[in-house]
A and B are shown apart, each in its own frame.
Chain A
Amino acid sequence: MDATSPPTDNETRAMRRPSRRTWWRRNENWILGSLSMLAFLCFWEVAVRAGAVNPLFTSSPSRIVMTGFAMFADGSIYEHLQASGTEFFIGFALAVVVGVPLGILMGWYSRLNAVLEPFVSALYATPRIALLPLVVIWFGIGLGSKVAIVFLGAIFPILVNTITGVRTIDADFIKVARSFGSTDRQMFLTVALPSSVPLLLTGLRLGLGHALVGIVVGEMYGATQGLGYLIAVAGARFQTDKVMVGILLIASLGIALTELLRAIERRFERWRPNQRG
């Protein structure tokens, strides 16, 4: 084989693209998923209209949609959305700003890790919701306590995954960098940081889930506004439609943010195999 000749069969094998699939095979999964969802909603609606179940307990798709529209129309929903959104973004942003650098430092410096690890492990193992009464004692029932509980929920998955990411760097990469005479700083920037990105992003995604739980439970426990508060109050008054609207909004928020992070993950992991599918 000449240096300028195209790669041999042996060598092209790794580069061959998957063969083009038919339209149906590409879209099969989401179509089946949507159909089953639609069937479920129809069944629900029909069951309520036929009087088979009491809408007081189950509500119905049409009632939920109507209530949702009404709440947006009269503007009563906005204060709750705004409250929950503010709590979430401040709490999550703080968790990222503190968790990522601290995780990198703890992963890199084993002494620092030894000092802080017991606290992290203990708090990670504790359901953060159990701390809620304490958090309310410290920060009151306003914005502060919710930001704190979102922060506590999100920071540990971020921290733990970032630490693992930095600690599990391939020893071969370190050797390559050393062989090229890398300084500690270069080692950190060119090896430790990029190789920990995948786990760091996984940490963000897990942290997101915990943050949402934190909002809802925090607002149910003690608050004057927010989606969790809305759900709790509506539930106490048997306003099932409103409860469902609140749940749907929280779920949509969760899905949207998770998808956003997935998109970022894909963007950062272009270099990783098996990203499609």
Chain B
Amino acid sequence: MARPPKLDVRHVSLEHYNERTRQALAVLDDIDLQLQEGELVSIVGPSGCGKTTFLNAVDGLIAVTGGEIRVDGRLVDRPGPDRAFVFQHDSLFPWRTVVRNITYGLELQGRLARPDMQERARALVDLVGLKGFEEHYPHELSGGMRQRVNIARALAVSPELLLLDEPFAALDAQTREFMQFELMKILARAKATALFITHQISEAIFLSNRIVVFSARPARIKDIVAVDLPAVRTLAMKHDPGFVALESRIWRLIEEEAARTGMIAAA
């Protein structure tokens, strides 16, 4: 492949030093991962294995202790405009309206004039299906709508790479299903490259081209599973035999890890 990968993670390891116990805890161990442009990749793994830490490291919020992370060939050492993070809790600023929340990143960057920011925000409001709610405050929106704003806020800065940390964890099961479908369409329309974390295996399969399975801590890449489903997916596909087979295959991988660390009793 001639083109350099959009995200290039090489031999990344990370140790967390605990001030109180004065012990270093290995969180990530020799992670190697490449994302091509337009790829949607999700990370699954046992709870507490270091998925979120890894995503924070890619965003530049946490420094790695070994290896390097590059986005478009540029070394990641701090948060940058080429990446945007969608947090688990929507974390919208309650004192800003929908539009002003979406323009937040642009305001910090100061690259656009205010009318241009407004215009882009309105286009994104459209994209995430919130037309008519531009001037609403977050408390006037439901959980699903707030998460859409959260995603729009990240997309507003036109990131090269979108990082999503369990964006739907706080939603009820039904809304969550709908939002998966919405997110799939939004990412396709925005032509985004995205890396996301989820606990829900069916969500991972539904949303991604590849699934990275992390081992228990310290996290290594246990396996990378390609999802050979049509690019355009429907929620009904979750009941296809191929989908279900993939689901149980990934579940077995996670189960192995959980059993290995005694999180569940080995069969």
Tell me how far the C-beta of A88 lies from the nearest C-beta in chain B, rounded to whole angstroms.
Answer: 30
User: Roughly how many angstroms separate A10 CA and B179 CA in the complex, as a whole number?
Assistant: 12
> In the bound complex, what is the Cα–Cα distance between A114 and B94 (angstroms)?
30
* CB <8 Å contact, A173 and B91: yes
- The verdict on A140 contacting chain B, using a C-beta distance below 8 Å, is no
Asked whether, in the complex, the Cβ of A271 is within 8 Å of the Cβ of B139, the reply is: yes
Interfacial chain B residues near A180, Cβ < 8 Å? 79, 84, 104-105, 108-109, 157
B129 within 8 A of A: yes
Contact A3 B185 (CB under 8 A): yes
CB nearest to B80 among chain A residues: A181
| Cβ A181 vs Cβ B141 within 8 A | no
Are B84 and A181 closer than 8 Å at their CB atoms? no
What are some 13 contacts across the A-B interface (CB < 8 A)? A1-B178, A3-B127, A3-B185, A3-B186, A10-B174, A11-B141, A15-B141, A15-B142, A172-B87, A175-B87, A178-B61, A179-B61, A272-B139
Query: Do residues B91 and A11 form an inter-chain contact, with CB atoms below 8 A?
Result: no
Kindly count the residue-residue contacts between A and B in the assembled complex, taking CB atoms under 8 Å apart.
98
3 residue pairs, one from A and one from B, having the closest CB atoms:
A3-B129, A11-B142, A172-B91
Residues on B with C-beta less than 8 A from A183 are: 108
Chain B: interface residue total (CB-CB under 8 A): 43
Q: Is the CB of B85 within 8 A of A8?
A: no
- Once the chains are docked, how many angstroms separate the CA of A145 from the CA of B175? 63
Q: How far is the CB of B140 from chain A (nearest CB, A)?
A: 6
Q: Is the interface of A mostly helix, strand, loop or mixed?
A: helix
B70 at the A interface (CB under 8 A): no
**Complex Cα–Cα for A191 and B81 (A):** 19
Is A13 in the interface zone, CB < 8 Å from B?
yes
Among residues of A, the one whose C-beta sits closest to the C-beta of B59 is A179
Contact B137 A270 (CB under 8 A): yes
Q: Could you tell me if B185 and A181 are in contact, using CB atoms closer than 8 angstroms?
A: no
Residues of chain A with a CB closer than 8 A to B108's CB: 177, 180-183, 186, 190
Asked whether A271 lies within 8 Å of B94 as measured between CB atoms, the reply is yes
Q: What are the residues of chain A within 8 A of B140 when measuring CB–CB?
A: 14-15
Interface residues of A in 1-47 (CB under 8 A from B): 1-5, 7-8, 10-15
- For the complex, give the distance between the alpha carbons of A1 and B179 in Å: 9
Instruction: Please determine whether A10 and B94 come into contact, CB atoms closer than 8 angstroms.
Output: no
Q: Which of B93, B109, B128, B143 is in CB contact (< 8 Å) with A181?
A: B109
Q: Is there a chain B Cβ closer than 8 Å to A273's Cβ?
A: yes
Most A-side CB within 10 Å, residue of B79, B141, B175: B79
Cross-chain contact of A190 among B80, B81, B104, B145 (Cβ < 8 A): B104
B138 CB to closest chain A CB (Å) equals 8
